[in-house]
Amino acid sequence: MNPKLEFIKEKECWVVRADNGKSIEGFRNLGVTGLHFDIYELPNDGVKVFENKERTKEIFQKYHPNVPKKYPNWWGTFNMFCNRIQIGHVILSPTSNGDLMVGVVESDLYFELGNETLPHSLRRKINWMDGFFSKNEFPISLQSLFCNSSCFYVDKSKGEESDEETQINSENLIDTDSEGVVYIMKSNTFTDYYKLGYADKDAELRCSALSTDKKYAIFNLEVLGYVKLSNYKRFEKSVHNHFAPIRLNSENGCNIDSEIFKSATLPQDFKEYIQLHQKQKYYNITEVSLNY
């Protein structure tokens, strides 16, 4: 890893996306990060409104009255950005080519009406480091950088491993299970909906079985691809944890718990996650078939 990034091992880290990299220059030039949400004014209690879920919902209803189903997920993002990020935490913002800008939070949340330079009105002051960093310059414990969400916490609970520990853990993972597949299926009913799961033998057979499943039949699933490996059940758990912020389940405001994930970029994100593990050799991946 890059020695300049050693300090973030001891810091709380958050990824805040910049509209697929479009607002990176605005973030850097103004020394801020922010949420882009089309808010033109705040009530008398100012940004404190976002400390309360119901009061935040009133803001959603005022500016976006026609999409109430999105409110639970929006609250999750607002709660993280407005209430959980603190001064001294580290912010990581991906650029359009996948590199990241790194900075340290220097202010509490504040409101400033967005403009052509930067449309984001909910902001925090950031001391950005010079330059940009590629993903492979970061500690292994920051693998959730590859996740897809506007704002999310980077879980470093596994910590950093030495090369020797990585090899030992890799060998243990490889030898404990027979071979199976972890697949990605797309929904032909709902745009940008995908299922991530495992199959003991064949992804197509699993897809056929799901066509009569009460929970999943409505999604009319089709196999996009799969990765074959030993210890596939553990790898599926890793995949699910990695993409947890976009999973349809009760924690993300959905009325069912499922293996369905919603994101326009999930196929590419899944492919990048597989490529990461091929390089790091945590798992004995024997075949990759991604038909897109």
pLDDT value for 92: 94
Kindly give the residue spans of alpha helices, DSSP state H, lying in the chain.
24-30, 53-63, 71-78, 163-175, 203-210, 232-242, 266-280
Domain ranges in the chain?
3-154, 163-290
pLDDT value for 166: 36
pLDDT value for 140: 62
Which regions of the chain are under pLDDT 50?
158-177
- Maximum separation of any 2 CA atoms in the chain, in Å: 61
Residues 203 and 225: their CA atoms lie apart, in Å, by 8
CATH topology for the 3-154 domain: ph1033 like fold (3.10.590)
Residues 40 and 269: their CA atoms lie apart, in Å, by 33
Burial 34-58 (b: 16+ CB within 10 A, else e): bbbbebeeeeeeeeebbeeeeebbe
CB atoms within 10 A of CB 65: 8
β-strands 260-262, 221-230: how paired? unpaired
Residues 24 and 102: their CA atoms lie apart, in Å, by 11
pLDDT value for 141: 61
pLDDT value for 144: 56
Our CA dihedral for 82, 86, 87, 91, rounded to 10 degrees, sits at -80
Q: Is the dihedral of CA 176, 181, 186, 189 positive or negative?
A: negative
CA distances from 21 to 27, 95, 102, 196 (A): 10, 4, 13, 27
Per-residue pLDDT tens over the stretch 8-50: 888 888 989 888 888 999 999 999 999 988 888 899 989 999 9
pLDDT value for 83: 92
pTM recorded for the entire structure: 0.56
Per-residue pLDDT tens over the stretch 91-117: 999 998 889 999 999 999 999 998 888
Q: Which helix (H) or strand (E) holds 195?
A: strand 193-199
Instruction: Please return the burial class of 212, using the count of CB atoms within 10 Å of its CB with bins 0-12, 13-18 and 19+.
Output: exposed
